[in-house]
Amino acid sequence: MQQDLQQKNGLVKEVFNKVFDKYDFMNDCMSLGIHRIWKKDFIQTMNPTSKKKLIDVACGTGDIANLFIKATNDNSSILCIDPNKKMIDEGKKKLKKYKNIKWKVGFAENLNIPNNTYDFYTISFGLRNTKNVNKSLSEAHRVLKKGGRFLCLEFSKIENPNLNFLYRNYSKILPFLGQIIVGDEKPYKYLVESIKKFANQEELLELMKKNKFQNCSYRNLSGGIVAIHSGWKI
């Protein structure tokens, strides 16, 4: 088991080291730009008000932080955490005009942050890449204030068989697109496989409940290609 976790950690690091400078461009290409709609819906679901504190884990280049800042009229505090320093550096460059975003290299399983600190915890397209989903959820619960909200945007399982057929066949060409655009198909082979292996909507809901979140729910987007999961620390 430990060896498997180490191999996964090494693979994830290798994958994102290869695509960090083309990450946003690749997201647009691979999702045909739809990931931007999903993320806006994610923020609308959160419905943040000003003077709130957000921790965004597996932040990538800061898309969620950017949307959160705009939704709160630049009157909020954000900590962006990602295990990949190159991603963090890209995010710093992209959002350098904002002074209320802090950046930190770190892991979802061990945030090294005091208890009861944040109003919102978000993780988008990152939970399936963690070494231990249970530990990551436990840490999310720990760092949230009482009354704080956990939100996860993640690839999920499609319910409609016709849409699922189309999506599975589209997924087969993603590695070839990766080879063309970034010169390496391996990151996108990993993407496809990690989505297949990750928990479905109900399974993730149960994991959230197991880690003390209450009033848990989820909502499918694009027929279940992705889902937004929500839970509260009460």
Average pLDDT over residues 71-76: 94
pLDDT given at position 18 = 61
- CATH T-level fold of 2-232: Rossmann fold (3.40.50)
- pLDDT for residue 16: 65
Cα distances (angstroms) measured from residue 46 to each of 49, 51, 102, 121, 141: 9, 14, 20, 10, 16
Alpha-helical (H) ranges within 47-148 are 63-71, 85-94, 133-143
The count of other CB atoms within 10 Å of the CB of residue 17 is: 14
pLDDT at 32: 80
Three-state DSSP at 234 gives coil
Q: How confident is the model at residue 3 (pLDDT cuts 50, 70, 90)?
A: very low
The string of pLDDT tens digits covering residues 85-131 is 999 999 999 999 999 999 999 999 999 999 999 999 999 999 999 99
Question: Which pLDDT does position 59 carry in this prediction?
Answer: 96
Answer yes or no: is pLDDT of 20 > 70. Answer: no
- Provide the pLDDT for residue 17: 64
The band of 132, judged by pLDDT with boundaries at 50, 70 and 90, is very high
Find out whether 227 and 218 touch, Cβ atoms under 8 Å: yes
- Mean pLDDT of the 44-61 span: 96
Q: What is the pLDDT of residue 2?
A: 34
What average pLDDT score do residues 22-45 get?
Answer: 85
Query: 86 or 28: which carries more pLDDT confidence?
Result: 86
Position 4 pLDDT exceeds 50: no
pLDDT at 6: 39
User: 3-class DSSP state for residue 129?
Assistant: helix
Q: What pLDDT does residue 19 have? A: 62
Q: Is 97 helix (H, G, I), strand (E, B) or coil?
A: coil
**Residue 223 pLDDT > 70:** yes
Report pLDDT digits (tens) over 140-196: 999 999 999 999 999 999 989 999 999 999 888 888 877 887 777 877 788 888 899
C-alpha 30: how far from its chain's center? 16
How far apart are the C-alpha atoms of 5 and 194, rounded to whole Å? 13
pLDDT of 32-41, one tens digit each? 889 999 999 9
Confidence (pLDDT) at 1:
39
Per-residue pLDDT at 114 = 97
